[in-house]
Structure 1
Amino acid sequence: MTAHIKKAELHCHVEGATPPALALAQARKYGADTSAFIRDGIYVWQDFTSFVRSYDATAMLFRTAEDYALLAETYLTEIAAAGAIYSELIVSPDQGDAAGIGADAYIAGLAAGAERAREKTGIECRFIIVGIRHFGPERVEKAALYAARRAHPLVTGFNLAGEERMGRVADFARAFDIARDAGLGITIHAGELSGAFSVRDALDHVRPQRISHGVRAIEDADLVRRLAGEGVVLEVCPGSNVALSVFPDFSAHPLRALHEAGVRVTLNSDDPPFFHTSLSREYEVAASLMGFEEADLAAMTRTAIEAAFVDDATRKALLDRL
């Protein structure tokens, strides 16, 4: 039903986009044991904590710049075939260090893969540097300083992810000031595992253009009105929210209520194979289970491109493709 609709994605963690088949191929390459987190060709986990462990174990299967080039090329080519014209990948310099290749080689590898995908399919891609919340404010500030260096022209934004229930948003305000002063786009994970208060704190302390998830703002009518009034864009990931039991099912998910309240919303896949979803499926679910019309979905794609962390010329070129 939605295959012909052009799509754009603002929220996808690059290691979390690893198809299980690619993870298994990487494991064979390095002689790694995947039995603890891949069974019968699917990722296994029980809750957010065990999901993070599975995610981290998968990330460690990528150990060279070319490994990361393959990952980016594989994912971007896959979503381009489903109609995507733009993608922002959330990337972590900490992961480059953990892999032993350093942040610059990590970014360079991802960029090489993004360029190969663009040459094959025309899909545009940008990178959002992420600080990991449960690593603490100092490590997040280090990630912000790295982002501010603009080590590669595809680096255009900064985000905060990780265990949302640890620390206060205010603890990370300096990191966001560093990124903002460098001209980077600002988004932050909030309102997923923690309630509406975390969205309010993000607005008050970080002043983001976008919020990653933000769906639990629905718990506070005044906050929903504030989001609508300020035009803050939500990067909504329904499949992820249901998989992690933020909401019990799609009928309980607030995407439609937020949309009807005038909040600017977009559709995203987060960590697609871990949550048994894809960007294409997110559009299908919105249409078949949430009652969105084709025009609504096309408008969400337009919103994503309008809110993308790109230069004006690139934005105009993308809008022209709609």
Structure 2
Amino acid sequence: MAPRDLRLLPKTHLHLHFSGSMRHLTLVELADTHGVRLPDALRTDWPPELSAADERGWFRFQRLYDIARSVLRTEDDVRRLVREAAEDDKADGSRWLEIQVDPSGYANRFHGITAFTDLVLDAARDAAAGTGIAVQVIIAANRTRHPLDARTLARLAAQYVGRGVVGFGLSNDERRGTTSEFAPAFRIARNAGLLAAPHGGELCGPATVRTCLDELGAGRVGHGVRTIEDPDLLKRVVDAQVALEVCPASNVSLGVYRRPEDVPLRQLYEAGARIALGADDPLLFGSRLAEQYETARAVHHFTDEELADLARGSVLASTAPDEVRKTLLTDIDDWLGADQTTAAPAPAATY
């Protein structure tokens, strides 16, 4: 029996960064339009060879990300990015996208954090209308900035509850800053009804996941793969059904694990963890959402039933309303029961 088409498997996408979602072709076109010089790693030698095993490696990764962000110069550029991210997600079978953005990184060029947030949310509404998939926003603070800046962003996010912002995150190098110092910002966000979804447990060990739970009130953890190293913590995550946004391509590209088969996806799944596969930064890692499911199948030997279970986990971990979740879960069951020999494949995303 032929394997089912994973691009037809309904799913949600909960770990995708804003500039990192950009198509490679779009990056090159916008760079040429705006006169931005791209290094070879972002033009001819794409996708770049990366590592964040040490500070120098992270600096290079961050430098490439910052260059990519710098090609976004106009409102049309931002709208194009969000529209294409939604189109690519739809092609990969995603029905619900939560895209993560730090407005501080775009404030100078787009008239401040509030104006930029308004622009992103308007672009998200247009993208949703044009593609038929929901596009929501997670506002994320930056670990390398002062925790007071995070409070400003949390208050900003709180103003948009019910208007397209569904969560509050914390990103950048886990080895920088003190995670617990961001607790007041997350308290503001949680009190407003936003999901707490900080990064933890990728570049640093399981202790960062514990801090995200204890100090930030995390309902989901970005990455979280190194939870596997602490059995007591893993049991706590499983019992509480705190979802882990596992991004296999990111883990290997950044040197957290040497080979794709070393990513503990199978171990986390068999322990009962709720997992939402994510692409993280396709622009820098060279693969989108469907490829993460393909990795689960080809490298970690997930059956179609287990892949459907991963998709269910992504739905249950999302902020989607109950009626949307119910529809998606039914459609996942239908994917398992479908005659895959007659199913038409979804169009492949264009990089």
- If the length of structure 2 is used for normalisation, what is the TM-score? 0.87
Partner of 2:39: 35
Partner of 1:143: 153
Give the 5 Å matches for 1:173-188.
Answer: 173-188=183-198
1:268-301 alpha-carbon deviations (Å, 9 max, x no partner): 0000120121101001010111011112122222
- Measured in 1, the distance between the counterparts of 2:72 and 2:255 equals 29
1:15 aligns with 2:19: yes
Could you tell me which of 266, 286, 289 is aligned with 1:279?
289
Shift of 1:43: 4.6
- Measured in 1, the distance between the counterparts of 2:307 and 2:130 equals 25
Change (3 A) 1:162 1:64: same
- Measured in 1, the distance between the counterparts of 2:158 and 2:151 equals 10
Shift of 1:259: 0.7
Matched-pair contact (CA < 8 Å) for 1:65–1:101: no
Shift of 1:38: 1.6
1:67 aligns with 2:85: no
Percent of aligned pairs with the same amino acid: 34
Partner of 1:167: 177
Partner of 2:346: none
Shift of 1:313: 4.1
- Measured in 2, the distance between the counterparts of 1:69 and 1:101 equals 16
- Measured in 2, the distance between the counterparts of 1:206 and 1:74 equals 32
Alignment root-mean-square deviation, CA: 1.8
Return 117-126 or 136-145, whichever deviates more.
117-126
Q: AA paired with 1:309? A: T
Partner of 1:207: 217
Q: AA paired with 2:296? A: A
- Measured in 2, the distance between the counterparts of 1:152 and 1:174 equals 22
Could you tell me which of 96, 102, 109 is aligned with 1:92?
102
Secondary structure of the corresponding residue to residue 135 of structure 1 = coil
Could you tell me which of 71, 76, 93 is aligned with 2:86?
76
Matched-pair contact (CA < 8 Å) for 1:65–1:108: no
Return 35-44 or 24-33, whichever deviates more.
35-44
1:2 aligns with 2:6: yes
- Measured in 1, the distance between the counterparts of 2:179 and 2:41 equals 31
Shift of 1:82: 2.1
- Measured in 1, the distance between the counterparts of 2:126 and 2:95 equals 14
For structure 1, the 5+ residue unaligned runs are none
Q: AA paired with 2:143? A: R
Change (3 A) 1:151 1:264: closer
Secondary structure of the corresponding residue to residue 157 of structure 1 = strand
Q: AA paired with 1:100? A: F
1:11-70 alpha-carbon deviations (Å, 9 max, x no partner): 000111111211111112211111365231625364222111111111111122221111
Partner of 1:265: 275
Q: AA paired with 1:304? A: S
Query: What is the total number of aligned residue pairs between the two structures?
Result: 322
For structure 2, the 5+ residue unaligned runs are 51-56, 333-351
Matched-pair contact (CA < 8 Å) for 1:12–1:89: yes
- Measured in 2, the distance between the counterparts of 1:158 and 1:264 equals 20
- Measured in 1, the distance between the counterparts of 2:196 and 2:68 equals 27
Matched-pair contact (CA < 8 Å) for 1:20–1:41: no
Q: AA paired with 1:116? A: D
1:245 aligns with 2:255: yes
Matched-pair contact (CA < 8 Å) for 2:11–2:315: no
Partner of 1:44: 48
| Higher RCO (CA-CA < 8 Å; seq separation 6+) | 2
1:222 aligns with 2:232: yes
